[in-house]
Structure 1
Amino acid sequence: MFGKKKRLNVQLDYAIRLDTRIQDISFTVIDTETTGFAIGAKDGLIEIGAVHIEQLEVTDNTFQTFVNPARSIPHHITKLTSIEQVHIDYAPSPLEAIGQLFEFMETYQSVSWIGHHVGFDQLVLKKELAREKYTYKVPLSFDTMDLIHYLHPTSDQLDLDDYARLFGTKSFQRHRALGDALSTAHLFVELIKRLEKKNITTVSDLLRIKNGNVNKAIFI
């Protein structure tokens, strides 16, 4: 019989009113790198990156750590990310690293996660915690892809760099957790500014976009 799962002693699920203005929310943009896509099976977490957004400004408050997945990094992942075995051999365990990420979020009382395909990053954290019999309550989260598809419904499945060029935002080192988190943070802020011009200004408005309950807008 499986034992009861434990919870990490951090607060991530802050209550928030639906009429709260987007600009008044504290966000954490997250990104992860892994040894592959078979999360929960043979692959594991090797890097976490995060950046804090306050008052719709990308701050200098960032988080980055390598993670030791207790397995070797495949050659093609090293080639893609430049993360080598030496970077992870003495890095924190997944449980320790995720705990550090959550403490970072708690420090700034972040009420919402942001990510580019954020569901994957959440799955990675969930599976790594599950291996240690831990769980957590996922905070309010938004995916930049949902916002992009609302503003630009005809856009193809492009690379993060392509979206940065499309919306005129900064790009940072690709396929590294902090670099991708920074690129996503700047993209998110620009997307929100464009949405505000279309009277998308509150948490409720963002949730309607997330849930597909709004009419598609025309990209400008």
Structure 2
Amino acid sequence: MFNTLLKLVKKSPTDTFLLSSPRLPSLHDKLTALRYQTWPEYILNSSRFVVFDTETTGFFYNKKDEIISVGAVAIENGLITESCFSQFVNPNRPIPLIATEITGITNEMVADCPDILTVLDQFLDFKGLSPLIAHTASFDLNFINVKLRRYCGHRLNTQTIDTLLLAQLLFPKEENLRSLDSLALHYDIEPIGRHTALGDALITAQIYTKMLDSLFDMGIKTTYQLANHLLFKRLI
């Protein structure tokens, strides 16, 4: 099945580059196992969660933009740990000047770095079976899943908490509290490392831990309860 999938992939220069990734078989096996994984009910302030972020060459995952950095930190028992993941990615294309100006990542910095499939395989090792947390999670997951579907045949099956949706739940009338910057300011969080993958993951982790008390005050203590509240909010 895996070898058949590889034959179906159109061989562009990027395809040729990524199909030679040494971690592609390992990544495929991990995604296949996760595809059939059933998820328990995680307690929001006592389970392990992985907060992550990506930096990219642009906004269009389904065109030619690529991930150039992945960063993540682990939260356990409601506290940010020192366990982290940070890796530049070789996008196999020039990084636009505007992306370098925003992220500080240059072509020279990524030239000898691993490809995205290798980095995602390493990231999944760090993630394990922990749920993910991200701000505007669909942006990051779209970039990740477009690669995983093309080269592995599966998207990433995982529980994910989006702090943007949490902000909409906790502050329904305060439209100004939606961005990472506005939430960091609201919670008096210093935005160290802004627009770096690890820095933004750490800011998001701090925002999430600040939100926990408010969620518990609403009677939301588990991932299932949170999912039900968010679904109800969308329906009303």
Q: TM-score, normalised by structure 1?
A: 0.86
> Is the Cα–Cα contact under 8 Å of residues 145 and 156 in structure 2 kept in the other structure?
no
Equivalent residue for 1:126?
145
Q: Look up the match of 1:74.
A: 96
Deviation at 1:170, TM superposition (A): 4.2
How many residues are treated as equivalent by the alignment? Answer: 211
Q: Give the SS at the match of 1:8.
A: helix
SS at match of 2:45: helix
Alignment partner, residue 97 of structure 1: 119
Give distance in 1, aligned partners of 2:190 and 2:137.
Answer: 19
1:47 aligns with 2:64: no
The residue identity in structure 1 corresponding to 2:198 is L
Q: 2:53 aligns with which of 31, 35, 43?
A: 31
In structure 2, which of residues 156, 159, 167 is the aligned counterpart of residue 140 of structure 1?
159
Cα 1:212–1:75 change in 2 (3 A) is farther
Is contact 1:147-1:209 (8 Å) kept? no
CA distance in 1, matches of 2:85, 2:225: 29
1:189 and 2:187 correspond: no
**C-alpha contact 2:39 2:159 (8 A) present in aligned 1:** no
Which segment is superposed worse, 46-55 or 165-174? 165-174
2:161 alignment partner AA: F
Q: Are the structure 2 counterparts of residues 95 and 59 from structure 1 closer, same or farther at C-alpha, using a change threshold of 3 Å?
A: same
1:151 pairs with 2:170: yes
| Structure 1, unpaired ranges of 5+ | none
C-alpha separation between the residues in 2 aligned to 1:90 and 1:210?
A: 42
Provide the C-alpha distance between the structure 1 equivalents of 2:50 and 2:43, rounded to a whole number of angstroms: 16
Task: Give 1:173's aligned residue.
Answer: 193
Mean Cα deviation higher: 163-172 or 138-147? 163-172
Q: 1:94 touches 1:129 (CA, 8 Å); kept in 2?
A: no
**CA offsets per residue over residues 47-98 of structure 1, 9 Å max, x none?**
0001111111111100000001100000011011111111111111010011
Corresponding residue to 2:28 among 8, 12, 17? 8
Q: Which moved more, 1:203-212 or 1:46-55?
A: 203-212
Amino acid at match of 1:116: H
Q: What runs of 5+ residues in structure 2 fail to find an aligned partner?
A: 7-24
Whether the aligned pair in 1 keeps the contact of 2:149 and 2:155 (CA below 8 Å) is no
Question: Secondary structure at the residue paired with 2:55?
Answer: strand
What CA deviation, in whole Å up to 9, does each residue of 1:198-218 have, x standing for no partner?
2211222211233244899xx
Residue 87 (str. 1) matches residue 109 (str. 2): yes
Verify the 8 A CA contact 1:142 1:210 in the aligned structure 2: no
Query: CA distance change for structure 1 residues 194 and 170 in 2, over 3 Å: closer, same or farther?
Result: farther
Confirm whether residue 201 of structure 1 aligns to residue 224 of structure 2.
Answer: no
- CA distance in 2: counterparts of 1:149 and 1:183, whole angstroms: 18
Q: In percent, how many aligned pairs have the same letter?
A: 30
SS at the partner of 1:23?
Answer: coil
Q: Residue 164 of structure 1: SS of its match in structure 2?
A: helix
Q: Comparing both structures, which one devotes a greater share of its residues to helix?
A: 2
Question: CA offsets, 1:3-27, max 9 Å, x none?
Answer: 4477633365754444x43223211
Contact 2:80–2:206 (Cα < 8 Å) also in 1: yes
